[in-house]
Amino acid sequence: MTELEILIEAYVSGAVLLQDSLQNLDSSSVDLRPIPNKWAIREVVCHLTDSEIIYADRFKRVLAEDNPTFFEADPVKFCTSLCVGSRRIEDELDVIASVRKHMASILKSIDESSFNRLGQHSLDGPMTLRVLVQRITNHISHHIRFIDEKRERMSC
């Protein structure tokens, strides 16, 4: 497998890793805050879902437009404004899996040079499609560590 094929495979498998990290989780536990001033598990999952949608838009814009600008999304504002408390974990996981499957089909179809296309992040500056894919691929595993830590504190 090429480096890009490995990256795309890791991108797709992130949805399964997240789902696995939530196995056997008591539904009453998803809103607990075992670590003060940190998000509950539901909030983490909703943040991941919101990020997937944002990154899918960035991928498409980098592919379709010449050097588009994309803006930072404030995760705290998203969490407080987007009805996180009423969002079902199962629905969020479905969205993540669907978005990743959809985007993977596009990523597998483009030529390798397209991964070097640029967009301009409002805070981080120029970013290639490859960097965007790497960032969102690592995002789930980054947050799984926090989910595991919360579960350990709750002993579930």
- Name which residue leads in pLDDT, 76 or 9: 9
Residue 55 pLDDT more than 60? yes
> Which CATH superfamily includes the segment(s) 3-154?
dinb family like domain (1.20.120.450)
DSSP 8-state class, residue 73: -
Mean of pLDDT over the chain: 95
* Per-residue confidence band for 156, with pLDDT thresholds at 50, 70 and 90: low
- Say what the pTM is: 0.94
- Region 51-72: mean pLDDT is 98
9-44 pLDDT per residue, tens: 999 999 999 999 999 998 889 999 999 999 999 999
Domain ranges of the chain: 3-154
CA dist 41 and 30 (Å) reads: 5
Q: How far apart are CA 15 and CA 28, in angstroms?
A: 22
